[in-house]
């Protein structure tokens, strides 16, 4: 045999993660999974996790050759397209913490024209591997949502607006943070 052959088919990722949102402040001291399936934002059309690192590159010699890289900044975010258009998801997209207001009903008001800094929420994405017994959890203890809401109402397809959960510092050095995040200030990924 040659070429890359599968070593563990149970690690193949196929399908979407379930995105859950709970209060950040009330759960900041919990390093593990703090949410349940009832905290899900609902049906999704896509989920995409990105851990972006920007590097400074050093070169030496002649002609110049790269000899070292040093990380300058790190960001993590999870982007998803949600399908359930309701006060909860629209309030989340507008930067409100939907766990602190009465956005859970199917009726209500989401205000426009009063933007402020997005509130902090805890985002946990649960991905179930096709085996049904292995899980991956992406946990952002303090996240802010950045989104420009666009409801594309089409004749023969459902709307799928995009939300982006951006992980923010959650260590003891920031107000609202906790020392349990000092060695993982943007959160972590847990496999079970």
Question: 24, 18, 23, 34: which is closest to 176 by C-alpha?
Answer: 24
Low-confidence ranges of the chain (pLDDT < 70): 1
* Burial track 3-26 (b if 16+ CB lie within 10 A, e otherwise): eeeeeeeeeeeeebbbbbbbbbbe
pLDDT of residue 1: 63
Residue pointed to by tokens 């899980």: 135
Residues 121 and 143: beta-carbon distance below 8 Å: yes
How many C-beta atoms lie closer than 10 Å to residue 80's C-beta? Answer: 24
pTM of the prediction? Answer: 0.92
**pLDDT tens readout for residues 117-160:** 999 999 999 999 998 889 999 999 999 999 998 999 999 999 99
Structure tokens belonging to residue 31: 């390093």
3-state secondary structure of 109: coil
Question: 101, 94, 139: which is closest to 117 by C-alpha?
Answer: 94
Question: 47, 29, 2, 34: which is closest to 123 by C-alpha?
Answer: 34
């Amino acid at each position: 045999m040659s070429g890359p052959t599968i070593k563990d088919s149970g690690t193949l990722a196929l399908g979407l993660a379930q995105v859950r949102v709970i209060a950040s402040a009330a759960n900041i001291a919990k390093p593990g999974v703090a949410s349940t399936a009832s905290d899900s934002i609902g049906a999704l059309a896509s989920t995409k996790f990105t851990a972006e690192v920007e590097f400074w590159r050093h070169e030496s010699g002649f002609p110049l050759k790269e000899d070292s890289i040093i990380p300058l900044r790190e960001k993590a975010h999870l982007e998803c397209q949600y399908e359930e258009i309701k006060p909860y998801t629209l309030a989340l997209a507008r930067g409100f913490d939907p766990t602190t207001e009465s956005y859970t009903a199917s009726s209500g008001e989401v205000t426009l024209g009063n933007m402020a800094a997005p509130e902090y929420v805890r985002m946990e994405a649960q991905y179930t591997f096709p085996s049904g017994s292995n899980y991956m959890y992406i946990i952002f203890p303090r996240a802010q949502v950045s989104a420009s809401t666009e409801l594309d109402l089409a004749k023969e397809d459902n709307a799928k607006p995009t939300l982006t959960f951006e992980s923010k510092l959650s260590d003891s050095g920031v107000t609202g943070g906790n020392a349990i995040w000092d060695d993982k200030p943007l959160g972590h990924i847990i496999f079970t």
